Amino acid sequence: MKNIFMLIAGLLTLTGCTQKLEVSVPEFDVTQKKITARAGEEIKFLLTGNPDLITFYSGEVLHDYAFAAGRIVKTNSLDLSFRSNVEFGKQPDQLRVMASVDFNGGAAFEDITTASWTDITNRFALGTNATYKASGEANLADLSIEGKPFYLAFRYIVRNPTVYGTGNVWRIQNFLLNAQTSIGLLSLGNMQNAGFRIYEQKQKTAPCRSTISTTTLQLIAPALVDSTRTAETECWIVTKGFDTGDMDYGPDRPVAIKGYADPKIKETVYVYTKPGNYKAVFTAYNGNVAGRKEVIREVEVEIIP
C-alpha cells in the first residue's frame, strides 16, 4: 500500500512539472501599423506584452525578414574602369587589356601562356599622351563563368627597339571592378586590393622595369643596354581571381532587443538613413526545454527625404 501511495505522489509531481514546462503563445504587439518619418530621424516603436525574447528586422538589405531563410545575391553586371597615360616612347599598340577564366593563378610566365585569354582592349579608351585618360566603364559579365575565378590583366608588348623605337611607359590608375547586384553596387577590386602581380617573359635576359604601387601600375620596357638592344619580350600585370558569380550571403540577421533576463520593454527606437519603403518585422518568442512558440508583428515604414 505504501508503494502505491509513493507511485501516485510521483505521478502527481511529474504531471505538475510537465504543466510548468508548457510554453504559452507570447502576448505581444506593436501598436503602430504604419509609420512615416524622415531619413535620419529617430523612430519609436511602441510595444506591448512581455515575451521571453524579441528580435527586430528593419527591412533594410541584409536585415530583411523576407530573407530570413537565406539570400542569394544575383550579379547583373560586372563593370571595369581605370585611367591610363603613355609617354616617352614610340612603339605602337603596346598595351592590351585581357581577361581569363581558366588562368591557374600560378607564379610562372608559363602559367600565363597556357591559359586562354580574351583581348578586351577595344572596350576601353586608352591614353594617348602624358595626360591621364578615363577608360570609360565596360560591362564584362559576358566573359565570366559561374564557379570560375575571373582574372584581368594588362599585357605590355615590347618589340625590337632597333626596328620599332623605344618602348613607351604606360601607367594605370583608378582601377575599379564593381558588380551591380540585386542588393546594389558591390566593389570587387581596386588599386589596393586587386592583388596585382608582375609576370616577366624574359626576367633573366631582358627584364622589364615595371612597378606596382597602391596608386599606380607602371609598365616599362627593359633598359637599353647591349644585351637587350634588339630584345622582344612581354610583361603582364595580373589581378587576383575575382568571384563574380551569384553570392550566397546566408540568412538575413535580426537585432535582438530583449532577452530572457531583460525586464519588460515598452518601446524601441531605430533610425533609417535612406528614403524608401520598408517592412519592419518583430518576432517575439516564449520558450523552454519543452519547445518554443512565436508571434510575428509587422509595421509598414515609409522614409521620406
Q: Is the pLDDT of residue 133 over 90?
A: yes
Res 145 pLDDT > 90: yes
**pLDDT per position as a tens digit, 260-293:** 999 999 999 999 999 999 999 999 999 988 899 9
pLDDT at 12: 41
What proportion of the chain, given as a percentage, has pLDDT over 90? 84
Q: pLDDT confidence of 227, banded at 50, 70, 90?
A: low
Domain boundaries, the chain: 28-68+252-304, 73-247
**So what's the pLDDT on residue 19?**
52
**pLDDT value of residue 13:** 45
Could you write out the three-class secondary structure of the chain?
A: CHHHHHHHHHHHHHHHHHHHHCCCCCCEEECCCEEEEECCCEEEEEEEECCCEEEEECCECCECHHHCCCEEECEEEEEEEEEEEEECCCCCCCEEEEEECCCCCCCCHHHHHHCCCEECHHHCCCCCCCCCEECCCEECHHHCCCCCCEEEEEEEEECCHHHHCCCCEEEEEEEEEEEEECCEEEEEEECCCCCCEEEECCCCCCCCCCEECCCCEEECCCCCCHHHCCCCEEEEEECCCECCCCEEEECCCCEEEECCCCCCCCEEEEECCCCEEEEEEEEEEEEECCEEEEEEEEEEEEEEC
Pick the CATH number of 28-68+252-304 from 1.10.287.110, 2.60.40.10, 3.40.50.300, 3.40.50.720: 2.60.40.10
Instruction: Say yes or no to pLDDT of 21 above 80.
Output: no
* Global confidence as pTM: 0.76
Could you report the per-residue pLDDT of 112-127, keeping only the tens digit for each?
A: 999 999 999 999 999 9
Q: What is the mean pLDDT of the chain?
A: 92
pLDDT of 253 higher than 80: yes
pLDDT of residue 22: 86
Sorting pLDDT into bands at 50, 70 and 90, what band is 225?
confident
Residue 229, pLDDT > 60, answer: yes
The pLDDT value given to residue 20: 58
